[in-house]
Amino acid sequence: MKYYGTKNNQDYGFYEDNFENAIEITDEYWADLLEEQNKGKIIILFNNNVIAADSSKYTKENGIWKQLNDEEAKTKQLKIQNAIRSKEIQDELDEIDKKRIRALAEPSLKDENFTWLEYYNSKITQLRTELKSISE
Helices (H), the chain: 27-38, 70-105, 116-135
Phi-psi region of 56 (alpha: psi -120 to 50; beta: other; left: phi over 0): alpha
Q: Where are the domains of the chain?
A: 2-66, 68-135
Counting Cα atoms < 13 Å in the Cβ hemisphere of 30 gives: 14
- Of 116, 94, 96, nearest to 105 by C-alpha is 116
pLDDT digits (tens, 9 = 90+) for 82-119: 999 999 999 999 999 999 888 888 778 888 888 889 99
pLDDT digits (tens, 9 = 90+) for 107-116: 788 888 888 8
Which residue type is seen at 134?
Answer: I
